[in-house]
Amino acid sequence: MRERGVDDGHVIHLNSSEWAPGFLAGDGAVVGRLALVTGPSAGIGASVTRRLVAEGMRVVGAARSVERVQALADELKGHPGTLIPNKCDITKDDQVVSMFARIKRELGGVDVCVNNAGLAVLKDLLEGSPEEWCSMLDLNVVAVCLCTREAVASMRERDVDDGHVLQLNRMERWSGRVALVTGASAGIGASVTRRLVAEGMRVVGAARSVERVQALADELKGQPGTLIPIKYDITKDDQVVSMFARIKRELGGVDVCVNNAGLAVLKDLLEGSPKEWRRMLDLNVVALCLCTRETVASMRERGVDDGHVIHLNSITGHYIHELPGFQFYCGTKHMVTTLTEALRLELRRTNSKIRISSISPDRVETEFAINTGMSQDAAHQFYQTRPRIQADDVTDSLIHVLAAPPHVQIHDVLIWPL
């Protein structure tokens, strides 16, 4: 990558044979690009290779057992992309360097590097041998570092600035199902709503500003899914219960709940008032718990055991914000972190497969700052003076969480801007 001046390439380490990430969205952005997959002859490596070739990529499959890669290449003939078998022992430094030189000479360079090859020798530390430890280190660590170094050098050398790896989207099973998004009128809530409707879901957009949700529903007409605006105040318990009753009556029930609505009142602890603290607790904690309780009840009532509850948490749910005035807000988000894990424990006791996830972004450029009471100038300063992310960045992570296979739960996602 560095050799070709590519500064937006991606290196993916497959850290465990029990986990395979999705990283394609299927929008054609990867067609004709070149991927290197180590250990492609079986298991996750073969699965990733098949998908990349199906997406139109040229895939170099590097393995010691090149015969199995050749068999896979024969199987994949006729697909949009191609598989080029390459016999290489990536624990041999000279072979790795030679492989990258060949790729440069014959194919131009590497745009995606999937470090999949790995080795485990199952022995206790008191029984293992230095030879076995070195074998694991050579393949699991040194080879990963060397392939990464060479891939980055290849990208940078070519000065390609549109290298990209996209998420593999497994949202098909959610098409036609019902999602509830709180705080759907703006910011992250609106972004999530747009994406879920685009994925074919029936989305209940709940907000006090229902006019904005209706405008969003009008904008989204013609999309695979639909947006149903509902006006309600989730800090009013009776309105929440009534909303779930309406969803049950008109749509059947909730399959996905995105607890997005939140509030911050910027005052130091020694200056705040009980009224302001209760407002934050009511929205950030109590309403979240009530929506979650009603969602899980809706799932259980219908025998739905693959539903998903996603809390839009915050980095401040894991760390204390350094800026003045955020301390009580941080406390409410720490409660969300605790309650998320507590809910997992409750569901685990009943052997439920309902998934609970928490997504904690750092500074997201939305209306949040204005809603805290900041002036326009202060809000501009809040966002422009430090790294920040956009609402769609959070939505991308949420889709990754939601699209994971039913037997996979992604517990917590922390999102930092670079």
Instruction: Report pLDDT digits (tens) over 132-149.
Output: 999 989 998 899 999 999
29-43, 98-112, 282-296, range with the lowest pLDDT: 29-43
pLDDT in tens, 112-134: 999 888 887 778 888 889 999 99
Average pLDDT in the chain = 86
Highest mean pLDDT among 154-168, 215-229, 354-368: 215-229
Distance separating alpha carbons of residues 402 and 406, to the nearest angstrom = 9
Q: Tell me the percentage of the chain whose pLDDT exceeds 90.
A: 55
pLDDT tier at 335 (50, 70, 90 boundaries)?
very high
**Segment 333-355 mean pLDDT:** 94
Residue ranges covered by each domain of the chain: 2-158, 172-415
Q: What's the confidence (pLDDT) of residue 20? A: 35
pLDDT tier at 165 (50, 70, 90 boundaries)?
very low
Q: What's the confidence (pLDDT) of residue 81? A: 94
224 has pLDDT over 90: no
Highest mean pLDDT among 30-34, 205-209, 352-356: 352-356
196-200, 254-258, 320-324, range with the lowest pLDDT: 320-324
pLDDT tier at 381 (50, 70, 90 boundaries)?
low
405 has pLDDT over 90: no
pLDDT in tens, 210-219: 999 999 999 9
Q: What's the confidence (pLDDT) of residue 164? A: 45
Q: What's the confidence (pLDDT) of residue 365? A: 66
The residues that are catalytic are 329
Q: Give domain 172-415's CATH number out of 2.40.110.10, 3.90.950.10, 3.30.365.10, 3.40.50.720.
A: 3.40.50.720
3-state secondary structure the chain: CEEECCCCCEEEECCCCCCCCCCCCCCCCCCCCEEEEECCCCHHHHHHHHHHHHCCCEEEEEECCHHHHHHHHHHCCCCCCEEEEEECCCCCHHHHHHHHHHHHHHHCCCCEEEECCCCCCCCCCCCCCHHHHHHHHHHHHHHHHHHHHHHHHHHHHECCCCCCCCCCCCCHHHCCCEEEEECCCCHHHHHHHHHHHHCCCEEEEEECCHHHHHHHHHHCCCCCCEEEEEECCCCCHHHHHHHHHHHHHHHCCCCEEEECCCCCCCCCCCCCCHHHHHHHHHHHHHHHHHHHHHHHHHHHHHCCCCCEEEEECCHHHCCCCCCCCCHHHHHHHHHHHHHHHHHHHHHHHCCCCCEEEEEEECCECCCHHHHCCCCHHHHHHHHHCCCCECHHHHHHHHHHHHHCCCCCCCCEEEECCC
CA 92 to chain centre: 35
pLDDT tier at 370 (50, 70, 90 boundaries)?
low
CA 91 to chain centre: 32
Bridge partner residues of 38 (DSSP): 62
101: three-class secondary structure by DSSP? helix
pLDDT in tens, 175-196: 899 999 999 988 899 999 999 9
**Segment 37-57 mean pLDDT:** 86
Q: What's the confidence (pLDDT) of residue 57? A: 93
**Segment 337-361 mean pLDDT:** 94
**Segment 382-408 mean pLDDT:** 84
Question: What's the token pair of residue 402?
Answer: 């939601």
pLDDT tier at 44 (50, 70, 90 boundaries)?
confident
Q: What's the confidence (pLDDT) of residue 367? A: 65
Q: What's the confidence (pLDDT) of residue 7? A: 81
303 has pLDDT over 90: yes
Q: What's the confidence (pLDDT) of residue 169? A: 45
Would you say the CATH fold of 172-415 matches that of 2-158?
A: yes
- pTM for this entry: 0.65
Superfamily grouping for domain 2-158: NAD(P)-binding Rossmann-like Domain (3.40.50.720)
**Segment 319-328 mean pLDDT:** 78
pLDDT tier at 379 (50, 70, 90 boundaries)?
low
Question: What's the token pair of residue 18?
Answer: 């029990």
286 has pLDDT over 60: yes
